[in-house]
Structure 1
Amino acid sequence: MKRKIIVLGLILSFAGFIFAAAGSQAEDFEIGATIGNFSLPATDGKTYSFNELKGKNGVVVIFLSAQCPVVKAYIERINQVAADYKSRGINFIGVNSNATESLEWVTSDTAENFTFPMLIDKGNVLADKLGATVTPETYYFNSDNVLLYHGAIDNDKSGKNIKTTYLRTAFDSALSGKPIERTKALAFGCSIKRVGEEK
């Protein structure tokens, strides 16, 4: 009986890790807000500023994890959308804010899986500033550093039943000079493990 209780507890804990949803849509950083320039170290050993990494038509800050199963399910889609819009002037910046993931682990994962820079948000300062709570979670800024879209990449983590491509739709609207109809979509994935939440 005791063993069953322990196993059940582990299952529930794991389920919570995987299926967390953003508790708020960045209440302290709303659509239309402007982010100031900032600099963070990356997995390649260099330090980059936000302004030097953004494209001529904007940038996506995407919070990621080296261990989240939901992020793993999205890797191919993330890299594809990043490639599709890089030529149109929109760059991607990965950010890892997880206190539970070592630099070595994140560096290895980035080299294996992602095609854009991965910044290390030690102390989850950027995650706190933007209100990011899960991975993957995206923030799309225009070339003036104004937030245009925040939230999920699409509606389906499995990739088998995608009905709405929120991020691509936001890109296409902005690039064509049209208003973005849906500026927020609830992000879902694994909770960002902040300092003090390592256990």
Structure 2
Amino acid sequence: MAVSPPVCDFGTPLHDFHLPGTDGRFHSLEDARGPRGTLVMFICNHCPYVQSIIDRIVRDARQMQAAGIGVVAISANDADQYPQDGPGPMKTFADRHAFSFPYLHDETQQVARTFGAECTPDFFGYNAAGELQYRGRFDSSARTAGPADARRELLEAMLQIAETGKGPRHQVPSMGCSIKWKAA
């Protein structure tokens, strides 16, 4: 079932985290922050919405990092019910796609809840002051990749945030698979 998160709540503060990564280390917000902004994205391995754009995500993340934007990906799916989203498969996925950014596992799902993440992919773009400025989609792709020349909405927004500290006022919400929450 496709889920679409709410639009950007401008100014919401960036939340701290301390999570294990596929590189065997723990990562915090301070590790992930960039001098010109920070992108926190909630993704997972098995979601067709993520799979359709993962190579584009990696491409654009490299460009953002070169512009001084910190990038981090977090998987919060219930790995007991969805073992393909567990730490071992996450490492394989990150290696196969040559992630230039940390890929972290939110086993307790507390970080995802704190951010208000709802789907994969779900993008949270912050300015250098740690204020939310983007909560939109990556591009026009859905369960299948959009055209190769699709407008790079996330990249454009993050570069604008890095330059001006402000995100675009018009944002199209992301769409993806619901986060697979653990039973209460």
Tell whether the structures are fold-level matches, with TM greater than 0.5: yes
> Does the Cα contact within 8 Å between 2:139 and 2:153 map onto a contact in 1?
yes
Question: Matched residues in 1 for 2:117 and 2:38: separation?
Answer: 16
Structure label with greater radius of gyration? 1
Identical positions, percent: 27
Q: Counterpart in 2 of 1:169? A: 156
> Does the Cα contact within 8 Å between 1:134 and 1:188 map onto a contact in 2?
yes
Find 1:76's aligned residue among 29, 50, 55. Answer: 55
Question: Matched residues in 2 for 1:131 and 1:36: separation?
Answer: 11
Q: Report whether the alignment pairs 1:94 with 2:81.
A: no
Q: Report whether the alignment pairs 1:108 with 2:83.
A: no
Counterpart AA for 1:173: Q
Q: Counterpart in 2 of 1:22? A: 4
Residue by residue, what CA displacement relative to the aligned partner does 1:127-173 show, whole Å, maximum 9, x if unpaired? 11121111111101122211111121112232217654321221232
Distance 1:184 1:129, change over 3 A: farther
Q: Report whether the alignment pairs 1:57 with 2:36.
A: yes
Q: CA deviation at 1:94?
A: 0.6
Q: Report whether the alignment pairs 1:136 with 2:118.
A: no
Tell me the number of residue pairs that the alignment of Structure 1 and Structure 2 aligns: 176
Q: CA deviation at 1:24?
A: 3.1
Question: Matched residues in 2 for 1:49 and 1:167: separation?
Answer: 23
Unaligned 5+ segments in structure 2 are none
Shift >6 Å, 4+ stretches: none
Q: Secondary structure at the match of 1:185?
A: coil
Q: Report whether the alignment pairs 1:189 with 2:173.
A: no
Q: CA deviation at 1:23?
A: 4.5
Distance 1:182 1:44, change over 3 A: same
Q: Report whether the alignment pairs 1:151 with 2:130.
A: no
Q: Report whether the alignment pairs 1:48 with 2:27.
A: yes
Structure whose residues are more often helix by fraction: 1
Q: CA deviation at 1:21?
A: 2.2
Q: Secondary structure at the match of 1:140?
A: strand
> Does the Cα contact within 8 Å between 2:127 and 2:165 map onto a contact in 1?
no
TM-score, with structure 2 as normaliser: 0.85
